Structure 1
Amino acid sequence: MQLVRTLMDALTCEQHPLHHPLAFKQFESNLFNALIYGQPNNALHKIVQHKEKTVSPYFVKRTEAYIKEHLHEPLNVEILAEHAGVSVRTLFTGFKNYLGTTPMSYLKELRFEQAHLELMHNENLSVTDVAFKWGFTHLGRFSQEYKRRYGELPSSTRRSGQSEGSGIITSIFS
């Protein structure tokens, strides 16, 4: 229901974050997943259980690399599964089995890391700009999750980064 409210807000407000292409694609993917994959389905569960025994992790590594290379682009599980050459369910299962997370949670983690680096080192962007740049459309949730991960609010990271002066952003992919 929250997704529907967010969509309605976006339709009525020209400055809504969903007008940013990455934010919209992320929202679209979340809505699709909530509608399709949120419904219980015993038949699919049995198929996934059978495939778990025969799947090799090549597609997980391939997807990890793809996510890192395209982190700044709108991504969803369908795009990732297509690139990996497996079904969405198989991709989810592989990520859960080998990384202990979902593909979108993995993507979110990498985007949080990049947002954190930018807040520390890029004085030209506001907290809002950084959040939207990396696909985080709900600023309150972004701040809460950021604080849970890094022990401080994004605005505190921004202030401490500004007081240290400009630095070079060190990518997580180095």
Structure 2
Amino acid sequence: MTAADADAQHISGLDPVSDALDTLFPWETRHIEPADGEPVSMTLLARQVGAIRLIETERHYNGWSRTDHQPGAAPQALAVIGFTLAKGLVLEPPGSRRMVMAENEMLVTPYRPGSLIWRGSGSSTLFLSFPAELVVDVLGRHFHLPADGPSFDAQLLSELHPGHGLRHLAQRVIEDIGALPETTPPPVRDLLMRQYQDVMTSLLLLHVPHSLSDQLRQASQGGQPQHVNRALDYIHANLEQPLTLEAIAIGAGCSPRQLQLVFRKHLGTTPMGMAKKLRLEAAEARLRSGHYRNVTEAAVALHFSNLGRFAAEFRALFGYAPHQVLPSAD
């Protein structure tokens, strides 16, 4: 997906584009100019997913920018992960070698003053910024590794690197957030955002090289079912969305076959079998609370295509029919 495919903002003209960039990135110093005689324009899509910031842009101009933090202006990000969706950029980190970021490559950069200078034209990019507090929190909750937080080095990773699973998940999250009905209750939306942010942060820690990568690898080899935890997070975040084994595996940061094996070993079921169980549990809780008005609404919302089968599987799990948990009319 590109920014142009979503409910993005389309901006034309040198001053409007400059103003938009100044508003979005007030901690950057930049210069932009027309490219190839074409007017300056940009398509922009910004999302806040919990504490993670997602910025997707299509640029139609030449330019450069540098991070120059101003007190109170810049978010306290631990690292920024970037993906080129079309064309490319030239990166010139101070004190590091010049890097050419080709199409479909992944950029890892620490977020410090003056840490990145980019030059390019007409590129389409997706950037994710991760706050240090979130990364440390997920390290403790998901991986049981109390730490001050990992450190990242500026580097480019090819499209074959497993870190690109983060790109695919981020784009899926952008689509899912855009598809949420306006009537979605704020608590439900907030819960989804927190679950999405945890899954993306887990993928960052597992697949983007950093100072704690060896410790995480050793923890996984010690038998901790980290893939299971991340898969369950992803399933919980997508109970009312279509689910496939492939999508859950991307969210867990492993292959579908590996996910099947680890689920069998630790939970005695398959990822899709667990998804069905969690959906039935959600149906029971939400019917009881009045979140769903009737059994049909619950079945449709949680992607049970056959109402009779839904009722039978509900009864098999709980010992009573779904209509028996509906709140009384009075």
Interval of TM-score (by shorter of Structure 1 and Structure 2):
0.5 to 0.7
Q: What is the CA–CA distance in structure 2 between the aligned matches of 1:111 and 1:141, rounded to whole Å?
A: 13
Instruction: Indicate the residue corresponding to 1:156 in structure 2.
Output: 324
Residues 92 and 58 of structure 1, relative CA distance in 2, 3 Å threshold: same
- Structure 1 residues 84-99: aligned runs within 5 Å: 84-99=252-267
Q: Select the structure that is richer in strand.
A: 2
- Structure 1 residues 13-162: aligned runs within 5 Å: 57-122=225-290, 125-158=293-326, 161-162=327-328
Normalised by the length of structure 2, the TM-score is 0.31
Residue segments in structure 2 that go unaligned for 5+ positions in a row: 1-220
Single out whichever of 70-79 and 119-128 deviates more from structure 2: 119-128
Residues 103 and 59 of structure 1, relative CA distance in 2, 3 Å threshold: same
Q: Which amino acid aligns with 2:229?
A: K
Residues 59 and 123 of structure 1, relative CA distance in 2, 3 Å threshold: closer
Contact kept? 1:92, 1:103, Cα under 8 Å: yes
Give the aligned length: 110
Q: What is the CA–CA distance in structure 2 between the aligned matches of 1:123 and 1:56, rounded to whole Å?
A: 35
Q: Which amino acid aligns with 2:282?
A: Q
Q: What is the CA–CA distance in structure 1 between the aligned matches of 2:321 and 2:296, rounded to whole Å?
A: 12
Residue segments in structure 1 that go unaligned for 5+ positions in a row: 1-52, 166-174
Normalised by the length of structure 1, the TM-score is 0.57
SS of residue matched to 1:83: helix
Residues 157 and 60 of structure 1, relative CA distance in 2, 3 Å threshold: same
Residues 147 and 124 of structure 1, relative CA distance in 2, 3 Å threshold: closer
Contact kept? 1:120, 1:162, Cα under 8 Å: no
Residues 69 and 92 of structure 1, relative CA distance in 2, 3 Å threshold: same
Q: What is the CA–CA distance in structure 2 between the aligned matches of 1:94 and 1:121, rounded to whole Å?
A: 34
Residue 57 of structure 1 deviates from its aligned partner by: 2.2
Of structures 1 and 2, the larger Rg is shown by 2
Contact kept? 1:121, 1:162, Cα under 8 Å: no
Q: What is the CA–CA distance in structure 2 between the aligned matches of 1:118 and 1:58, rounded to whole Å?
A: 28
Q: Relative contact order: is structure 1 or structure 2 higher (C-alpha 8 Å, sep ≥ 6)?
A: 1
The root-mean-square deviation of aligned C-alpha atoms, in Å, is 2.2
Residue 154 of structure 1 deviates from its aligned partner by: 1.3
Moved over 6 A (4+): none
Q: Which amino acid aligns with 1:150?
A: F
The share of aligned pairs that are identical, in percent, is: 35
Q: Which amino acid aligns with 2:316?
A: R
Contact kept? 1:136, 1:142, Cα under 8 Å: yes
Q: Which amino acid aligns with 1:146?
A: F
Residue 56 of structure 1 deviates from its aligned partner by: 5.8
Contact kept? 1:147, 1:154, Cα under 8 Å: yes
Q: What is the CA–CA distance in structure 1 between the aligned matches of 2:236 and 2:255, rounded to whole Å?
A: 20
Q: Select the structure that is richer in helix.
A: 1
Q: What is the CA–CA distance in structure 2 between the aligned matches of 1:139 and 1:162, rounded to whole Å?
A: 21
Residues 92 and 55 of structure 1, relative CA distance in 2, 3 Å threshold: farther
SS of residue matched to 2:328: helix
